Amino acid sequence: MLEEEFQQLEQDGIFIAVSAGNSFATYNSPGLNYPAASSYVVPVMSVDSNGNFSGTSQRHSRAIAAPGVGITSTVPDYKGNNNGIGDDFMSASGTSMASPYIAGSSVLVREAMEIAGTANITQDMIYD
């Protein structure tokens, strides 16, 4: 059922950025975890501030990379100081930290394409 949803979103021109996975150090070979293995999504790998793959990031020729090492983001209060106020931040690493960069970038690319007059924008057009 999830594959059908991904297929429909892709057909509707929605860009779907997903984490490629963090198992490279375990298997020491290229590949993608699911749902990144789906042909309807764009897998996202993790790189450090020097542009090198993070040690655990999955690698694949159809994946795209973004910063994913030592990323500071908001977290739910129960993961932070549990003071009842949404004022909590945490630093984490991995492809889950990288994929939001690509999701956000895809919106900017789509907007630029629309301003330039491009119609019927697809996920592949944004990726390219």
Structure tokens at 47: 């790189």
Q: Is the pLDDT of residue 118 over 90?
A: yes
In angstroms, rounded to a whole number, what is the distance separating the alpha carbons of residues 95 and 100? 9
Over residues 16-37, mean pLDDT: 94
Mean pLDDT value across the chain: 95
Residue 55: pLDDT above 90?
A: yes
Which residues have CB under 8 Å from 17's CB, separation 6+? 41, 42, 44, 99, 100, 102, 103, 106
What is d(CA 108, CA 89) in angstroms, rounded to the nearest whole number?
25
The arithmetic mean of pLDDT across residues 52-74, rounded, is: 95
Spatial contact of 81 and 74, defined as CB atoms under 8 Å apart: no
Q: What is the Cα–Cα distance from 87 to 81, expressed in whole angstroms?
A: 8
Q: Which residue has the tokens 């198992």?
A: 23
Q: Enter the DSSP assignment of 52.
A: P
7, pLDDT greater than 90: yes
DSSP state of 78: G
Per-residue pLDDT for 93 more than 90?
Answer: yes
